[in-house]
Amino acid sequence: MKKDLNFLDRNEFNYEPSKEVVEALRNFDINKLCFYTRIYDEGKKSILSVYLSELYDIDETQVLLGYGGEDILKQAVHYFLTEEVGNKTMLIPKFSWWYYKSIADEVNGRTLQYPLYEEGNTFKYDFVALKEMIQKEHPKILLLASPNNPTGNGLTPDELNELLAHVPSTTTVLIDEAYASFVSTDTSYIKTLIDKYPNMIISRTLSKFYGLPGLRMGFGFMSKELSRFSKYSNKYLGYNRISEDIAIAALKSDAHYRNIAQLMNEDRTKYENEIGVLPGFKVYKSVANFILIKYPIELKEALQAAFSEQSYKVKFMNEPDINTHLRITFGRPEQNRIVIDTIKKIASK
């Protein structure tokens, strides 16, 4: 009998949703689907944007909603790269999600990579080189990912503030924070930054920490000075009313997801202690729901075969300068145990 595949390659969620999420779906009033929401009569976008406004203490007009964080990123890149004023250049991290370049390509945008560098068991942004690139290229968009996929490193609020002080107001700063909820419960810096700087969009999602990639619900926050973008982004007739209810239920059940994040942290330590000591292997510090591992390239075929035999899918990186690395999504403890034991078995041959 063929085993069910275990997907640990796309940073999805291998746990159960919270009971609040289950109840929200079970108790949803199906008759709501027969009508558009009426909240736009009050000048609001959604019951979700109102809830997020209260949760983050940010004016509702500065809240963005999208069909996943992917949608918010795509909207922002398409909008700002096609404005008449400014060039069509976007700066992105050297090691980052391939999708960033793809969505810029869709509008004939020009993407340039700014460097990240290794320091010990982590990657870091090269602020000096990045500031020089900003001065030279005058980019229309500076895209930051914190935490960054696939390297797993993030930027602190102080680091963001230091960098943003050197970015001209004519450059829109787009921060992808898809994994940020794994880092800290303190989100007060978001309001501080978007109130201080006139050129910021911060994108988040319910796909990662809240484990609902199939819900396709993203949200974000922007500086008041970018109100022209909200007019482009907003949906006049509202959003998916089932998704709104489920999203609010997920946000209200934060403790459920914090407990799961703690289990992931425990398994993160197991990867570090058991895989990090193997000859030729290196486990990088990660503040997301995945871990990056450097491995001896001569083991690639054996590792691929072993994972296939176990019916496990992990991500073998193939981008330049990071093509000897594995990115592995944290699954449940028993799944992580199988992954660790599989690697150890191949490494010991």
Assess whether 226 and 269 both reside in one domain: no
Assess whether 172 and 315 both reside in one domain: no
Which segments of the chain have a pLDDT < 70?
A: 1-2
Is 134 among the domain residues?
yes
What is the pLDDT, as a whole number, of residue 84?
A: 87
Candidates 304, 258, 290; CA nearest to 97 is: 290
Provide the token pair at 18.
């919270």
Candidates 258, 180, 254; CA nearest to 220 is: 180
Is 1 among the domain residues?
no
Q: How many CB atoms lie within 10 A of CB 343?
A: 24
DSSP conformation letters of 51-112:
HHHHHHT--GGGEEEESSHHHHHHHHHHHHHT-SSS--EEEEESSS-THHHHHHHTTT-EEE
Any residues with CB less than 8 A from the CB of 64 and at least 6 apart, and which? Answer: 72, 201, 203, 219, 220, 221, 222, 230, 233
- Provide the number of structural domains found in the chain: 2
State pTM to two decimals. 0.95
Is 275 among the domain residues?
yes
What is the pLDDT, as a whole number, of residue 7?
A: 96
Strand segments, DSSP code E, in 206-345 are: 218-222, 282-283, 290-294, 312-316, 325-329
**What is the 3-state composition of the chain as percent helix, strand, coil, each rounded to the nearest 5?**
45, 20, 40
Give the CATH number of the domain where residue 293 resides: 3.90.1150.10
Assess whether 11 and 57 both reside in one domain: no
Assess whether 62 and 125 both reside in one domain: yes
Assess whether 110 and 226 both reside in one domain: yes
Show which of 217, 233, 252 is a domain's final residue: 252
Q: Is 166 left (phi over 0), alpha (psi -120 to 50) or beta?
A: alpha
Residue in the block written with tokens 């001209």:
168
By residue range, what is the domain housing residue 137? Answer: 19-252
Show which of 222, 252, 282 is a domain's final residue: 252
Any residues with CB less than 8 A from the CB of 276 and at least 6 apart, and which? Answer: 121, 282, 283
Is 237 among the domain residues?
yes
Assess whether 72 and 178 both reside in one domain: yes
Q: What is the largest CA-CA distance in the chain?
A: 67
Is 318 among the domain residues?
yes
Show which of 225, 252, 279 is a domain's final residue: 252
Pairing of strands 200-205, 122-125: unpaired
Is 33 among the domain residues?
yes
Assess whether 103 and 248 both reside in one domain: yes
Is 165 among the domain residues?
yes
Cis peptide before 147 (omega within 30 of 0): yes
Q: How far is CA 67 from CA 72, 233, 246, in A?
A: 7, 11, 14
Give the CATH number of the domain where residue 66 resides: 3.40.640.10
Q: What angle do CA 318, 319, 321 make, to 5 degrees?
A: 110
Q: How far is CA 206 from the centre of its chain?
A: 9
Strand segments, DSSP code E, in 133-288 are: 141-145, 172-176, 200-205, 218-222, 282-283
Assess whether 201 and 332 both reside in one domain: no
The β-bridge partners of 116 are: 125
The β-bridge partners of 90 are: 111, 141
Assess whether 150 and 280 both reside in one domain: no
Assess whether 77 and 216 both reside in one domain: yes
What is the pLDDT, as a whole number, of residue 1?
A: 45
The dihedrals phi and psi of 172, each to the nearest 5 degrees, come to: -80, 125
Assess whether 171 and 264 both reside in one domain: no
DSSP conformation letters of 96-145:
S-THHHHHHHTTT-EEEEEPEEEETTEEEE-HHHHHHHHHHH--SEEEEE
What is the pLDDT, as a whole number, of residue 283?
A: 98
Is 116 among the domain residues?
yes
What is the pLDDT, as a whole number, of residue 2?
A: 54
Assess whether 34 and 157 both reside in one domain: yes
